């Protein structure tokens, strides 16, 4: 059995005021790295005034970091910043160790955890896209390994270039192939979604930062049996369950993949596809871990990702979770200033579920849609209900039918389906 690799985590901060945040970010990176299967041996918050074009960190700082790596017997360096391929290569040379950046770790975690075929394809696509500009680095790795076995990195320069060219062609081909496969899976899913939408049941997607408790909430409400754990990205695939409210109204709840700060652009596309389902929901339930010291930043991140996915206009129910925890009490007060209309609950203790249901019922009432109906004059009672609850935009009489175009609450449109 090989022992777990030991990592040194590095995050940068600009001014002293940023230091506490930087330390929180290192905590989160440690969780990510742990999820990936690497031990954290040391964490380093590194002051950074100016980014060095070739090695990201300046010379003086790097010397200190290399020292840490040596004395702590570090195997891998993990950097919480976006470093470009050549900086990464240069850093590996300076450290004499593998240097991973945040994107690579997140990709790795996703790769390990993706279960459905579509999620796997999306991650593979992101991986290939990540690798292409880094072929040179991969090749450096290989020659270093070869050097330790065979003697002196036996490749000639020209051969390396040729190999990179070859690899690039292989990856390009793979890229095309993956894109094609994804297209097929996506069109299949669009068909499934179509049939669900026609069923007309209001859908709610539970979204939020990773580890907020989304799956726990879905399980508590519906016995969905979704896997949950105190690590990041426990969920990568969406799960949909029926949920019957106390007033017997049926809704669909969707559990989704969690968001994270500095989500690599490469992965936004992968997210987008696994989140399609959720993005088509009528209403979003934004779950915030109110006990987390970075709850506000996490909520902000969620909105940023929503924006990137063009879904920030959806109606949102804001929910503070984990209020059973002591830390949540003081945080909740601060959060409430930012999100005055919110529901507080505990998914594990099943406290506050009534309030969530009320908010759900209210949102269903608020939902509106435009419909075109043909109603027999004998059913005139329905027309007066439409007038009472909605807004008639146009009406016409054809024989003994009334033809109406109206804006009505969504719940009513389900009731009127037979007239559409
Ligand atoms: N104390 C407390 N812990 C909770 C509560 N809700 C969830 N948790 C814990 O928080 C951790 C994460 O829960 P998950 O349901 O996996 O979180 P998630 O949002 O689905 O996370 P990802 O799928 O990774 O995005 C688990 O260890 C849960 O037991 C709560 O109300 N109170
Ligand atoms: Mg989950």
Q: Which of 2-6, 112-116, 149-153, 220-224 has the lowest mean pLDDT?
A: 149-153
- Average pLDDT, integer, range 151-168: 67
In-domain check, residue 192:
no
- Average pLDDT, integer, range 106-132: 87
In-domain check, residue 119:
no
Q: Report CA(297)–ligand 1 centroid distance (Å).
A: 18
In-domain check, residue 267:
yes
Q: How many domains does the chain have?
A: 4
From atom 11 of ligand 1, which residue's Cα is the shortest distance away? 230
Q: What ligand 1 atom has the least distance to the C-alpha of 287?
A: 19
For residues 249 and 345, state if they share a domain: yes
Please check whether residue 179 is in contact with residue 125, taking contact to mean a CB–CB distance below 8 angstroms: yes
CATH code for position 231: 3.40.50.300
For residues 373 and 262, state if they share a domain: no
Q: How confident is the model at residue 405 (pLDDT cuts 50, 70, 90)?
A: very high
Q: Report CA(410)–ligand 2 centroid distance (Å).
A: 29
In-domain check, residue 287:
yes
pLDDT in tens, 258-314: 999 888 777 887 777 767 777 888 899 999 999 999 999 999 999 998 888 888 889
In-domain check, residue 120:
no
In-domain check, residue 194:
no
pLDDT in tens, 8-48: 999 999 999 999 999 999 999 999 999 999 999 999 999 99
For residues 290 and 262, state if they share a domain: yes
For residues 246 and 321, state if they share a domain: yes
For residues 219 and 353, state if they share a domain: yes
Q: What is the pLDDT of residue 3?
A: 78
pLDDT in tens, 326-377: 999 889 889 999 998 899 999 999 999 999 999 999 998 888 888 999 999 8
Q: How far apart are CA 131 and CA 137, in angstroms?
A: 9
For residues 243 and 348, state if they share a domain: yes
For residues 362 and 389, state if they share a domain: no
For residue 255, the cross-strand partners are 206, 239
Q: What is the pLDDT of residue 339?
A: 93
Q: How far apart are CA 377 and CA 369, in angstroms?
A: 23
Q: What is the pLDDT of residue 236?
A: 78
For residues 274 and 348, state if they share a domain: yes
- Report the predicted TM-score, pTM, of the whole model to 2 decimal places: 0.83
- Average pLDDT, integer, range 192-201: 66
From atom 7 of ligand 1, which residue's Cα is the shortest distance away? 213
Q: How far apart are CA 217 and CA 287, in angstroms?
A: 9
Q: How confident is the model at residue 75 (pLDDT cuts 50, 70, 90)?
A: very high
For residues 376 and 314, state if they share a domain: no
Q: Is the pLDDT of residue 152 over 50?
A: no
Q: Is the pLDDT of residue 161 over 90?
A: no
Pairing of strands 342-344, 239-244: unpaired
Q: What is the pLDDT of residue 144?
A: 57
Which residue range is the domain that position 388 belongs to? 368-419
Please check whether residue 164 is in contact with residue 185, taking contact to mean a CB–CB distance below 8 angstroms: no
What is the sign, positive or negative, of the torsion defined by CA atoms of 326, 328, 331, 333? negative
In-domain check, residue 1:
no
For residues 334 and 386, state if they share a domain: no
The C-alpha angle 353, 229, 45, rounded to 5 degrees, equals 110
Q: How far apart are CA 30 and CA 38, in angstroms?
A: 9
Residue positions counted in the chain: 420
For residues 136 and 212, state if they share a domain: no
Q: Report CA(209)–ligand 2 centroid distance (Å).
A: 10
For residues 228 and 134, state if they share a domain: no
Q: Report CA(397)–ligand 1 centroid distance (Å).
A: 56
CATH code for position 97: 3.40.50.11060
Q: Which of 228, 229, 258, 288 has most ligand 1 atoms within 8 Å of its beta carbon, as the pocket-test mutant?
A: 228
From atom 13 of ligand 1, which residue's Cα is the shortest distance away? 213
DSSP 230: S
In-domain check, residue 195:
no
């Amino acid at each position: 059995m090989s022992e777990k690799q030991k990592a040194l985590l590095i995050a940068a901060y600009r001014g002293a005021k940023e230091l506490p945040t930087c330390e929180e970010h290192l905590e989160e990176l440690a969780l990510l790295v742990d999820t990936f299967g690497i031990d954290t041996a040391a964490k380093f918050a590194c002051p950074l005034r100016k980014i060095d074009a070739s090695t990201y960190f300046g010379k003086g700082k790097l010397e200190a970091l290399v020292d840490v790596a040596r004395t702590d017997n570090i195997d891998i360096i993990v950097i919480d910043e976006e470093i470009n391929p050549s900086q990464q290569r240069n850093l590996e040379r300076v450290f004499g160790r593998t240097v991973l950046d945040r994107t690579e770790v997140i990709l790795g975690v996703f790769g390990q955890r993706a279960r459905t075929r579509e999620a796997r394809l999306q991650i593979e696509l992101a991986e290939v896209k990540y690798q292409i500009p880094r072929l040179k680095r991969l090749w450096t790795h290989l020659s270093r390994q070869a050097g330790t076995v065979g003697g002196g990195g036996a490749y000639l320069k020209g051969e390396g270039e040729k190999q990179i060219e070859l690899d690039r062609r292989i990856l390009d081909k793979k890229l095309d192939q993956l894109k094609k496969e994804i297209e097929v899976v996506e069109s299949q899913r669009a068909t499934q979604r179509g049939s669900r939408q026609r069923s007309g049941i209001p859908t709610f997607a539970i979204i939020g930062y990773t580890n907020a408790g989304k799956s726990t909430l879905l399980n508590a409400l519906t016995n969905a049996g979704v896997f949950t754990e105190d690590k990041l990205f426990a969920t990568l695939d969406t799960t949909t369950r029926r949920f019957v409210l106390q007033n017997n109204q049926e809704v669909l709840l969707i559990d989704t993949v969690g968001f994270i700060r500095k989500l690599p652009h490469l992965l936004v596309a992968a997210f987008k596809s696994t989140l399609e389902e959720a993005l088509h929901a009528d209403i979003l339930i934004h779950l915030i871990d109110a006990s987390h010291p970075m709850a506000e930043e996490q909520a902000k991140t969620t909105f940023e990702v929503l924006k990137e996915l063009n879904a920030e206009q959806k109606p949102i129910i804001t929910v503070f979770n984990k209020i059973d925890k002591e830390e949540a009490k003081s945080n909740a007060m601060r959060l409430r200033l930012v999100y005055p209309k919110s529901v507080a609950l505990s998914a594990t203790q099943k406290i506050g579920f009534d309030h969530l249901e009320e908010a759900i019922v209210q949102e269903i009432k608020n939902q509106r849609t435009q419909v075109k109906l043909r109603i027999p004059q004998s059913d005139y009672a329905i027309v007066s209900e439409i007038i009472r609850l909605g807004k008639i935009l146009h009406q016409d009489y054809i024989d003994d039918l009334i033809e109406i175009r109206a804006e009505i609450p969504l719940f009513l449109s389900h009731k009127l389906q037979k007239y559409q």
